[in-house]
Structure 1
Amino acid sequence: MFSEIGQLIFDNEAVAKTQDFTMGLEIEMQRVDENGDLSKEPYPAGVGDERTNPWVTNDFLETMSEVVTPPAAHALDAMHYLFSINNALRTALAPGELLWPLSMPPRLPKDKQTLLLAKMGPEKEAYLKEWLKRHGFSEGTPCGAHINLSIDPRVFDMVYPHLKDQFASETELENYMYTKIAQGFMRYRWLITYLFGASPIAEANYFENNAGPAAPIRSVRQSSYGFGTKFTGDYTNVQQYVDRIKQGAKDGTLISDYEFHGAVRFKGDGKLADLAKSGVKYLELRMLDLDPSSSVGVRTNTLRFIRLMSSYFIMTPALHEEEVNKVLLRADQMNEEVATESPDAVCKYQTSARAMLARLERYANQIQLGPEYQEELEDLEDRVENPRTTPSARLTAHIKDGSLSEYALERAKRYQNSALQSINPFHGFESQKKLSANDLKEQLFKGSWEPK
């Protein structure tokens, strides 16, 4: 079952370190009013300057708030950061403002020219205007939960001395291991869409001329109906990933390398062109719809499942390079099929989903993960057997007159009221001072919680 690297890690009793991913979260939500329309209020002054606050910012529209957490060593720590910053944003909203809990936006105005692009500085705003010309307003409005993962450096330090004959440097090894994880998530993106897809419909005026699906589907956002750029990345290795994006920007398919919004993105410290040499530092996973059953858009158990998958991909063999594009092309096609299935239908790939979850359960048992992982896997296995228990199918029960607005507003008001009941709301962003991760941690928790 294990690859050569996986066996090395297992033999050196370092498997636990493959679970120690540093994790950061980026959660987008639209600001709306109590009628379910996009807010006309400005960016909340109580969370500082949208152009300089790294923890609460905007993306695409002025109403599209994005909460960003510092990297954390554990899923629970990441969730505490997210909950606290999300509450800080909620308490800074204007009276009557709410955060829309669904990935697909609320009803859009018929005249979309009235929508305001995010104020992100001249360079970013010029990019957004060009993007708008190519794609239109609607395609930029879906929101999601993005997970940033970085491998514990001790894994590289332990493995590299044994594999110097295969890798010219530790950076080359790092790139290889991140590529393995990226390939794994691209290959099984369809499974994540099935298990966590939560955007069965779009609200009024999202689609023009009835261009959308005729009935609810599993995930509008994760299908070809969703987010704008349909540019396919190359995950064969880091250099080919870079070359593919650079070629897209050169031939005009992409506005710039920034426009690549694949379901997985390699991230480093410098320019994209230097990524293979400087090394991948973390992966950005972009395939999760917002979970409206959580006030912060994602659940702790979902993060644990993502970590489990990541660890499994580290420990098991990578695809042969000549097979990567063929396998991932088929995986993209599978994802489109799954995303556009009826939410309460048995998945076309149910047998494959069973097999993958069984493999993950066996792996979790081998490395003796705790009961929380076993419980999560059992819940997900039930979703495979009973599609009506999936998030998207549950949402369809709340559709009224082709809309989820009533349900979304009820959840939004509930979460907003909960945040406003906080005894000691966070006001640390009001000074406009840019807070470091350490300052943020100290001011957010003040000894009540100590994230690693």
Structure 2
Amino acid sequence: MSTSLSLLLERLRGPAAARRFGRLRRGIEKEGLRVDDQGAISPLPHPWALGSKLTHPHITTDYSEALLEYITPVYSRPEQALEFLADLHRYTYRHLDGEWVWPASMPSRLNGNDSIPIADYGNSNVGIMKHVYRKGLDVRYGRIMQSIAGVHYNVSLPDDLWTLLKTLDGQEELSLDEYRSSRYFDLIRNFRRHSWLLLYLFGASPALDTSFLPDGKVPQGLQRHAKRTLLSPYATSLRMSDLGYQNKVQDQLRICFNSLSNYVNTLRHAISSPWPDYEALGVRQGDEWQQLNANILQIENEYYSDIRPKRVARHDETPSQALEARGVEYIEVRCLDINPFASVGIDVTETRVVDTFLMWCLLRESPWITDAECDHLDDNRRLVVERGREPGLELFDGNQRRSLQEWGSAILDEMAGVAALLDRLETGTPHGDALAEMTPRMADPSLTPSGRVMTLLLESGEDFIDVMQDIARKQADSLQAAPMESSREDQLEQLVEASHQQQVQIEESDQCDFPTFLADYFERARESRALSFVSSLMDRPPADGSAKHGEHY
């Protein structure tokens, strides 16, 4: 363990034992395709009984009508978030007729691009914008890539911990917003350096159905299995590979999260700069919108990253304007696959490990990332998603190569001190116990979720679709067998009715046509909302040595 990390942990132990700061807070967003009894993506619209996709706070859709997205409230105890997530699944199953929620990140059986229905959010301007944005993703990347699902994990640290850290760092001259934003970027840079470890420990997508590649070509590194399955023998997360959420145009943005101003200005440039290939696609054909614009990014949400700084945006702000105006509020981890062996796609052990990992990223030194290091980080992630379980795999640690197993074990050893600190806020040692469960995975890759999926496929000899369909049915039975509290059921019933009423109100309140609405949106999006503290904070290199959910597009 580095000396500075060891000293900081020592200085935090007393305040933790005295409960001078609270627990981390998290909210979970989990996606899942609706599938029929043959394991094919559902062609049916989002069930009316689940509420309005536009306005329901907890049950909506991501890209497709068939791609459910569940959003939990914010909790300081992960068990509460997971139970709420389970209740959302239970409620959904009461309103599905012969359908299941797909338990994997790589999609169910598809029948070409058009078999994936784009989500429809109604006739309001904001609803049309969400739909056209998705049409733009189709013409740019195709719908098949958008059928991939994952878990997004939103985390914030309590204000009392930020206040304590600011004092320990001797940064009393900074406001709390200044300090918090700067330190969240420290966390993000260390996350980018070491997110490969989460991909190894929790990646769960080493295989896919052949319908995911409709041209019939088998990419290098994939092998045929059974009748309709392609698998990569040592892959951890094909979802995060070149087959999944990747965009070569976005690669030239080179966002390495050294400062908030760099991050915001790069995104603003991308949503304002035309790209020739997208111009060739056309923005409109007659009265039919093809995409919101022909720029590198239609809107900021189109930028793909394994982690994002976030701030709840007000009604007249874009996400980056909210960050400029009031700083970072929480971070969103976006690299987690759906775990097929957890009934809701993620379990409490994973939440405790991710929490510990994020605190470790925050508390250790975090120098700025050079262009050369940025390239190495991308190389490490690529190696782990494609070959993470390969014996003897080596990664880039600075200018030298290092065994994944040795390096990962060393990180877990350092994280043990952070787990012990977090456990001072708990009864027992839940973080330490969760971390201990990871140690065998470093020595034996078959114990990872991707390894378990691979073992299941190879030992059964069955196709990916059949194996996952069987898991989906068993999870549905298990979830429905557990009762839901009547108060929670009443709450969800009320939200369904209220969400439909709210959508009608939004549609009736529009004051202009969609082209005018969109032009006004992008005119406002180009405005800087930076406050005076932001420029002083965001361009300064660091010295060496309460989460909410925003608007979803």
Shared fold per TM-score greater than 0.5? yes
CA distance in 1, matches of 2:9, 2:324: 26
1:218 deviation in Å? Answer: 1.8
Partner residue, 2:412: 357
Partner residue, 1:374: 432
CA distance in 2, matches of 1:388, 1:101: 20
Change in 2 beyond 3 A, CA 1:8/1:224: same
Partner residue, 2:129: 123
CA distance in 1, matches of 2:439, 2:359: 19
Is 1:394 aligned to residue 394 of structure 2?
Answer: no
Query: Residue 118 of structure 2 aligns to which amino acid in structure 1?
Result: L
Is 1:337 aligned to residue 391 of structure 2?
Answer: no
With 178-187 and 151-160 compared, the bigger mean Cα shift is at: 151-160
Residue 154 of structure 2 contacts residue 330 of structure 2 at CA under 8 Å; is this kept in 1? yes
Query: Residue 297 of structure 2 aligns to which amino acid in structure 1?
Result: L
1:209 deviation in Å? Answer: 3.7
SS at match of 2:68: strand
SS at match of 2:27: strand
Q: Which of 103, 106, 109 is equivalent to 1:104?
A: 106
Q: How many corresponding residue pairs? A: 431
Residue 229 of structure 1 contacts residue 259 of structure 1 at CA under 8 Å; is this kept in 2? no
Change in 2 beyond 3 A, CA 1:363/1:24: closer
CA distance in 1, matches of 2:444, 2:9: 36
Partner residue, 1:140: 146
Query: Residue 378 of structure 1 aligns to which amino acid in structure 2?
Result: A
With 207-216 and 347-356 compared, the bigger mean Cα shift is at: 207-216
1:410-436 superposed Cα distances (whole Å, 9 cap, x missing partner): 11111112233344572543443448x
1:329 deviation in Å? Answer: 3.0
1:249-328, aligned counterparts within 5 Å?
Answer: 249-251=271-273, 252-270=295-313, 271=318, 272-319=320-367, 321=368, 323-328=369-374
1:101 deviation in Å? Answer: 0.2
1:157 deviation in Å? Answer: 2.6
CA distance in 1, matches of 2:332, 2:375: 20
With 379-388 and 215-224 compared, the bigger mean Cα shift is at: 215-224
How high is the sequence identity, in percent, across the aligned residues?
23
Is 1:189 aligned to residue 195 of structure 2?
Answer: yes
Is 1:149 aligned to residue 155 of structure 2?
Answer: yes
- Give me the CA root mean square deviation: 2.6
1:247 deviation in Å? Answer: 1.9
SS at match of 1:10: helix
Query: Residue 446 of structure 2 aligns to which amino acid in structure 1?
Result: R
CA distance in 1, matches of 2:355, 2:445: 23
1:394 deviation in Å? Answer: 1.1
SS at match of 2:440: helix
Residue 198 of structure 1 contacts residue 290 of structure 1 at CA under 8 Å; is this kept in 2? yes
1:403 deviation in Å? Answer: 2.9
CA distance in 1, matches of 2:451, 2:216: 26
Query: Residue 308 of structure 1 aligns to which amino acid in structure 2?
Result: T
SS at match of 1:29: strand
Change in 2 beyond 3 A, CA 1:6/1:17: farther
Query: Residue 358 of structure 1 aligns to which amino acid in structure 2?
Result: D
Partner residue, 2:479: 419
Is 1:20 aligned to residue 23 of structure 2?
Answer: yes
SS at match of 1:24: strand
Change in 2 beyond 3 A, CA 1:257/1:341: same
Change in 2 beyond 3 A, CA 1:274/1:5: farther
CA distance in 1, matches of 2:246, 2:490: 35
Partner residue, 2:443: 385
With 96-105 and 375-384 compared, the bigger mean Cα shift is at: 375-384
1:34 deviation in Å? Answer: 1.0
1:384 deviation in Å? Answer: 0.8
1:84 deviation in Å? Answer: 1.4
CA distance in 1, matches of 2:132, 2:139: 11
CA distance in 2, matches of 1:406, 1:353: 33
Partner residue, 1:450: none
1:34-92 superposed Cα distances (whole Å, 9 cap, x missing partner): 11001123212222111111100001011000110000011112112111122112222
Change in 2 beyond 3 A, CA 1:327/1:74: farther
CA distance in 2, matches of 1:67, 1:50: 11
Structure 2 unaligned residues grouped into runs of 5+ = 122-126, 224-231, 274-294, 395-403, 500-553
Residue 204 of structure 2 contacts residue 338 of structure 2 at CA under 8 Å; is this kept in 1? yes
CA distance in 1, matches of 2:422, 2:431: 11
Residue 312 of structure 1 contacts residue 363 of structure 1 at CA under 8 Å; is this kept in 2? yes
Partner residue, 1:214: 222
Change in 2 beyond 3 A, CA 1:385/1:11: closer
1:309 deviation in Å? Answer: 1.2
Structure 1 unaligned residues grouped into runs of 5+ = 436-452
1:327-372 superposed Cα distances (whole Å, 9 cap, x missing partner): 3431221010011016464543221111111111244346655433
1:105-155 superposed Cα distances (whole Å, 9 cap, x missing partner): 012103x22321012310011111111111011111110111000111112
Is 1:241 aligned to residue 291 of structure 2?
Answer: no
Residue 75 of structure 1 contacts residue 300 of structure 1 at CA under 8 Å; is this kept in 2? yes
Partner residue, 2:244: 226
CA distance in 2, matches of 1:324, 1:71: 35
SS at match of 1:381: helix
CA distance in 1, matches of 2:191, 2:238: 19
Is 1:180 aligned to residue 191 of structure 2?
Answer: no
With 339-348 and 385-394 compared, the bigger mean Cα shift is at: 339-348
Change in 2 beyond 3 A, CA 1:99/1:315: same
CA distance in 2, matches of 1:367, 1:136: 43
Residue 346 of structure 1 contacts residue 387 of structure 1 at CA under 8 Å; is this kept in 2? no
Query: Residue 327 of structure 1 aligns to which amino acid in structure 2?
Result: E
CA distance in 2, matches of 1:282, 1:107: 36
CA distance in 1, matches of 2:167, 2:433: 37
CA distance in 1, matches of 2:6, 2:435: 26
1:269-324 superposed Cα distances (whole Å, 9 cap, x missing partner): 333134133111111100110000011000101000011112222322222x3x35
CA distance in 2, matches of 1:56, 1:26: 10
1:398 deviation in Å? Answer: 2.6
Change in 2 beyond 3 A, CA 1:88/1:276: same
Query: Residue 384 of structure 2 aligns to which amino acid in structure 1?
Result: V
1:382 deviation in Å? Answer: 0.7
Partner residue, 1:59: 62
Partner residue, 2:227: none
SS at match of 1:377: helix
With 195-204 and 374-383 compared, the bigger mean Cα shift is at: 374-383
Change in 2 beyond 3 A, CA 1:423/1:156: closer
CA distance in 1, matches of 2:386, 2:59: 33
Change in 2 beyond 3 A, CA 1:159/1:353: closer
